[in-house]
């Protein structure tokens, strides 16, 4: 993909989902439903899948205090996913 041409609709996965709309659950904006994203390492991800999001067991040293953080843009959440090679946060 061209560095200057990174629009979402140009991504192969976006084209696939446009051609297979039943794979994407419909959200009702009138009911205030939106996709939200959370970034974490794979160990924490497995715990979240098993137990769900519980702010009582979250990191109390988060930037804005205890709790879990969600973002409207997946690219923001991606900043909190450690690189598998060097274990540092990176944007892929």
**Which tens digits make up the pLDDT trace of 21-54?**
666 677 887 888 888 888 887 777 788 878 888 7
**Number of domains observed in the structure of the chain:** 1
Q: What residue numbers bound the domain in which 45 lies?
A: 8-78
State the pLDDT at residue 3: 44
pTM: 0.56
Whether 86 is in a domain gets the answer: no
Whether 84 is in a domain gets the answer: no
The mean per-residue pLDDT over the stretch 51-58 comes to: 78
Question: How would residue 8 be classed by pLDDT, with cut points 50, 70 and 90?
Answer: very low
Candidates 86, 88, 48; CA nearest to 68 is 48
Whether 3 is in a domain gets the answer: no
- Which residues on adjacent β-strands are paired with residue 89? 82
Whether 90 is in a domain gets the answer: no
Whether 57 is in a domain gets the answer: yes
Per the CB < 8 A criterion, the answer to whether 36 and 43 are in contact is no
Name the region of 34 (left: φ>0; alpha: ψ -120 to 50; beta: rest): beta
């Amino acid at each position: 993909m061209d560095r200057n041409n990174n629009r979402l609709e140009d991504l192969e996965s976006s084209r696939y989902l446009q051609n297979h709309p039943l794979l994407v659950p419909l959200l009702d904006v009138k009911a205030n439903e939106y996709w939200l994203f959370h970034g974490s390492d794979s160990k924490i991800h497995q715990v979240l899948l098993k137990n769900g999001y519980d702010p009582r067991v979250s990191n109390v040293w988060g930037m804005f205090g205890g709790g879990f953080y969600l973002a409207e843009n997946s690219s923001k959440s991606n900043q909190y996913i450690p690189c598998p090679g060097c274990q540092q946060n990176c944007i892929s």
